Amino acid sequence: MATIRDVAKRAGVAPITVSRVINNSGYVNEQTRARVEAAIADLGYVPNVLARSLRSRRTGTLGLILTDISNPFWTTVARGVEDAASDAGFNVILCNTDESEIEQDKYLHVLMQKQVDGVLLVPASSAVEPVKFIQSQNTPVVVLDRRIPNSQTDVVRCDSEDGAYQLTRLLLALGHRRIAMLSGPRGVSTAEDRVSGYRRALQEAGVAVDTTLVFYGKFSLESGYSMTQQALTVTPRPSALFASNNFIAIGALRALRDAGLRVPEDLALVGFDDLPAALVVDPFLTVAAQPAYEMGRQATELLLARLSGEAPPAYQEIILPTEIVTRQSSGQILEQQGG
């Protein structure tokens, strides 16, 4: 457990010179450097980053708080974050809240205690306090994926409203009029925005929004399953389902299978968020795909720009487009149904 002072003594230099060798900063004579490096090797010296960070006030670490690490969408976002951070020499501490504000709060404190240089936050709710808390610690924060109304902060997200609008129009164009919306939680902007887009498309098409067809649940397989069961009991039965995220879609698929219904023959199904090609044997879901990796990357780059003072002073809101990927699950144009 040698310290920088031990190395300095052995190499016959001052600690600061050792520091310069380690960090490649300032001027060091080649021979001096060699002596120092030999001393480092001899003593098996490993710098103490705690001391370094304490003094330099930089930890080279970012915090990433997200809501469900078991979802491939978030894994992909995380990889984008990780890659961008790594390119800039930063580490990432990953925190999983499971959509719980209490967990989120706990992790925020942990990250502040650990003196992370910046935070990427997928907020569990639309509350402004978490963002204000981070900012009160003089730590830059970028909000990811979701909006927080009335907050002053950088945001990188996708256009959920537009994606849902387009997906719904696609179903309408195929002749569907009774489309059940299996949404995520109220109070989460992505869930709300997707309902808004769905509504707008219906209204534009002159289809009245039947509120008994709009279900709010969680972004989970179980919730997708039960919302689907409920949707199937509504009369007249919907001819299409809109799953607000990928897990809800999988839950819906299971519920439909258990109900003996085929997709798309008996019901059409579309969803938000694609699944990674590696995880699916035979992709057949029609989806609005969000550029998850790119979202993570751009958010991180924005955060790093803030850290280095390169970002423009005004808060940014970067909105990435979704891409409609049409596959089998949305089905063909419906034949004229008897009234």
Partner DNA sequence: CGTTTTCCTGGTACGCTTACCATATTACAA
Partner DNA sequence: TTGTAATATGGTAAGCGTACCAGGAAAACG
Residues binding a copy of itself (CB under 8 A): 1, 44, 46-51, 53-54, 59, 109, 112-115, 133, 136-138
Q: How far is the CB of 88 from DNA (least distance, A)?
A: 17
Q: How far is the CB of 44 from a copy of itself (least distance, A)?
A: 5
Nearer to DNA, 9 or 79 (CB): 9
Among 9, 52, 79, 200, binds DNA (CB under 7 A): 52
Torsion of CA 202, 200, 187, 303, to 10 degrees: 130
Residue 44 binds: one of a copy of itself, DNA, none (C-beta under 5 to 8 A by kind): a copy of itself
Among 38, 41, 54, 280, binds DNA (CB under 7 A): 54
Q: How far is the CB of 105 from a copy of itself (least distance, A)?
A: 12
14 makes contact with DNA (CB under 7 A)? yes
Stretch touching DNA by CB under 7 A, among 27-35, 69-77, 122-130, 236-244: 27-35
Residue 265 binds: one of DNA, a copy of itself, none (C-beta under 5 to 8 A by kind): none
Residue 28 binds: one of DNA, a copy of itself, none (C-beta under 5 to 8 A by kind): DNA
Q: Find how far residue 106's CA is from the centre of its chain.
A: 19
Gap between the Cα atoms of 176 and 153, Å rounded: 40
Task: Tokens 């803030």: give the residue.
Answer: 306
Q: By CB under 7 A, how many residues form the interface with DNA? A: 32
Q: How far is the CB of 249 from a copy of itself (least distance, A)?
A: 17
12 makes contact with DNA (CB under 7 A)? yes
User: Could you write out the DSSP letters of every residue in 212-275?
Assistant: GGEEE--SSHHHHHHHHHHHHHSSSPPSEEEESSHHHHHHHHHHHHHTT--TTTT-EEEEES--
Give me the sign of the Cα torsion angle 11, 15, 21, 26: negative
Q: Residue 224: which of 177, 176, 265, 272 has the closest Cα?
A: 272
Residues in the chain: 339
321 makes contact with DNA (CB under 7 A)? no
Gap between the Cα atoms of 74 and 78, Å rounded: 6
Residue 165's CB is within 10 A of a number of other CB atoms, namely 23
Residue 114 binds: one of a copy of itself, DNA, none (C-beta under 5 to 8 A by kind): a copy of itself
Nearer to a copy of itself, 200 or 254 (CB): 254
Nearer to DNA, 45 or 215 (CB): 45
26 makes contact with DNA (CB under 7 A)? yes
17 makes contact with DNA (CB under 7 A)? yes
**What φ, ψ does residue 300 adopt, rounded to 5°?**
-65, -40
Residue 204: in which H helix or E strand, if any? helix 189-204
Task: Tokens 């069961």: give the residue.
Answer: 229
> 137, 63 in Cβ contact below 8 A?
no
Q: How far is the CB of 55 from DNA (least distance, A)?
A: 3
State the amino acid at position 30 in one-letter form: E
Stretch touching DNA by CB under 7 A, among 16-24, 119-127, 155-163, 293-301: 16-24
Q: Which residues form the interface with DNA (CB under 7 A)?
A: 1, 3-5, 12-20, 22-23, 25-32, 45, 47-48, 51-52, 54-57
